[in-house]
A and B are shown apart, each in its own frame.
Chain A
């Protein structure tokens, strides 16, 4: 158990819908990272927040947005969903804000299926 929690575990929805994925980092970690893992694209970095502020942006679509709240939990919002958005979405956290400077601890993931 990494100490990072993600809800829900599974999500099945229809095209055009909007969903929110939630992540609670390990106690004491200030950074939260979001990743998308699909069979054809592999593990893609989406975005990183550090202590409430956006720190780095990766291959995040404009239909997706994220935020980190004062209690450091984070939400990833996916809207106008398409079939191709079906994937595993992972959240990770780390103590510092330097990306790979320290270990990233991964949550169990949310499996999103868009029908």
Chain B
């Protein structure tokens, strides 16, 4: 099974609202990244959080990491219609592994 699993699978909100997406993983990791994908296009890196970090911010994005629960969350504040996309978390395989494992993604719809 996949290392990273996002929750929810899909999320629909109004512009201006906050969107929270969660990612859970199974084994220990060194790094976790969040990516965004517009329909049918390549992924765009959003933020990297390392296993010794608990929270990071980038503009309207806030990422948290709880290694004890093996989970991460991505919060997008004051969402815009342009934030409509799929969001993926990616983890490495921990202990010396270099495999990058993506979750199934959360599809976010922001209604204007």
Check B71 for interface membership: any CB of A closer than 8 A.
no
**Contact (Cβ within 8 A) A104 B45:** yes
Contact (A2, B42) CB under 8 Å given A42-B2, A45-B101, A56-B99: yes
**Contact (Cβ within 8 A) A107 B32:** no
Residues in chain B near residue A35, CB distance under 8 A: 102
Q: For the side of the interface on A, what is the size category?
A: 20 to 34
Partner of A108 from the list B41, B93, B100, B103 (CB cut-off 8 Å) is: B41
Check B82 for interface membership: any CB of A closer than 8 A.
no
Residues in chain A near residue B104, CB distance under 8 A: 42
Residues in chain B near residue A48, CB distance under 8 A: 98-100
**Chain B, interface SS category:** strand
Residues in chain B near residue A56, CB distance under 8 A: 97-100
**Contact (Cβ within 8 A) B30 A101:** yes
**0/1 per residue, A30-49, Cβ < 8 Å to B?**
00010100000011110010
Check B67 for interface membership: any CB of A closer than 8 A.
no
Partner of B99 from the list A2, A45, A101, A106 (CB cut-off 8 Å) is: A45
Question: Which residue of the partner chain A has the closest CB to B47?
Answer: A103
**Contact (Cβ within 8 A) A100 B102:** no
B47 to chain A, nearest CB (A): 10
**Contact (Cβ within 8 A) B41 A100:** no
Question: Which residue of the partner chain B has the closest CB to A109?
Answer: B42
Contact (A106, B42) CB under 8 Å given A45-B99, A45-B100: yes
Residues in chain A near residue B31, CB distance under 8 A: 99-101
Contact (A108, B90) CB under 8 Å given A56-B98, A100-B100: no
B12 to chain A, nearest CB (A): 20
Check B10 for interface membership: any CB of A closer than 8 A.
no
Q: Which of B's residues lie within 8 Å of A, judged by CB?
A: 2, 30-33, 35, 40-45, 48, 88, 90-93, 97-105
Q: Which of A's residues lie within 8 Å of B, judged by CB?
A: 2, 4, 33, 35, 42-45, 48, 55-58, 88, 90, 92, 97-109, 111
Q: Which 3 A-B pairs have the closest CB atoms?
A: A106-B42, A56-B98, A99-B98
